[in-house]
Amino acid sequence: MPMRKILPPLLRITRLTGRVLRWLLLAIGLLWVLGLFIYQPVCLVSVPVVLAAWWWVLRRRIEWALWCIFALGAVAYLLLPGPQPDKWQASWERAPQFTLDGDSLTVHNLRDFRYRTEQDFDCNWRTEIYNLSQITGADFAECHWDGMEAICHTMLSFSFADGKHLVISAETRLPEGEEQNAIAGLYKRYGLLYLFGTEEDIFALRTNYRHEDLLLMPLDVTPQTARAMLLHLVQLAQQTEQRHTAYNTLSNNCSSGVMSTFRHVTPGMPAIYNLAPVHNGSISRLLYRHGGFITRPGESYNDLRKRCYLRYDIAPGEPQKYSAAIRAAISR
């Protein structure tokens, strides 16, 4: 068939496809703007501007008017400051502070709570000194709940030669009276907190009291690399607090900062994997594929996960034995 007969139908199909995709993106954008007005009512002050733009553009083209509404909503969102409520919930009330003097890292506001139940606990914020020259390694923790595999909570734990362990967990920082909601998390309703704490608190809360599925997988890193990862997270924690950074379900969640540290572990990982925090259940598989874990000879990814799975109710009533107990289970 001559090309002059094939080309026009192809062009029509291409134009139609482009139009459909453009309207689909516009519909998603307008739904997002609707959510913005619901979860951030302060943005309703922009409605008169939106209506004026609608009136001015509508005389020319309806699609332009709709794109204008989306653009104005995006500007209103960008102008929103990060959340600074009068009071944060007790679990995230204090942000860590740091003093670095040579190899000595002092962590202030280290969380070390003791639990009777998930909701009944003693708040214990303390100061701890870590000798960076004694870092021996780091572990990647992956926590699942409600049977979900695609979504998880990710954390890092750093080990020291003197037996100490330091956990870093990027968490949704909830204002007093708020409950976490994935949709509301798109609209700067919550803060982001890089929580520094003990395994007896952050891990045991999940295994012993929430009965969530936690895996602790050893990263294949040198002490020097582990140190660089830890200092990178310290810097992220400081910047997040200084800028009142907001949590975002998609773009700035519990895995965003953790994923950024893995450039130290696997520098050859393709840039497309920066999108992994959106589907963070895939992060451990990516690390395994790129040699990021310490594995046994011939150990498959599924075998690694089975070996590194932590059971429930570990060292109940004996928090001082918790870290030794979880590592004894993994080394078997």
At 125, give phi and psi (nearest 5°).
-105, 125
How much is the pLDDT for 332? 58
Half-sphere CA count of 111, side-chain side, radius 13 A? 28
Give percent above pLDDT 90 in the chain.
58
CA separation for the pair 169, 167 (Å, rounded) = 6
**104 token code pair:** 């000595």
DSSP secondary structure letter of residue 94: S
**Mean pLDDT computed over 295-300:** 94
How much is the pLDDT for 300? 96
At 307, give phi and psi (nearest 5°).
-70, -35
The confidence band for 116, taking pLDDT boundaries of 50, 70 and 90, is: very high
pTM: 0.87
CA separation for the pair 219, 268 (Å, rounded) = 16
How much is the pLDDT for 330? 82
CA separation for the pair 270, 261 (Å, rounded) = 14
CA separation for the pair 159, 196 (Å, rounded) = 13
Closest CA to 286 of 296, 272, 299, 307: 272
CA separation for the pair 27, 153 (Å, rounded) = 30
Flag whether pLDDT at 65 surpasses 80: no
CA separation for the pair 46, 289 (Å, rounded) = 48
Pick left, alpha or beta for residue 87 (phi over 0 → left; psi -120 to 50 → alpha; otherwise beta): beta
Mean model confidence pLDDT for the chain = 88
**Mean pLDDT computed over 245-262:** 87
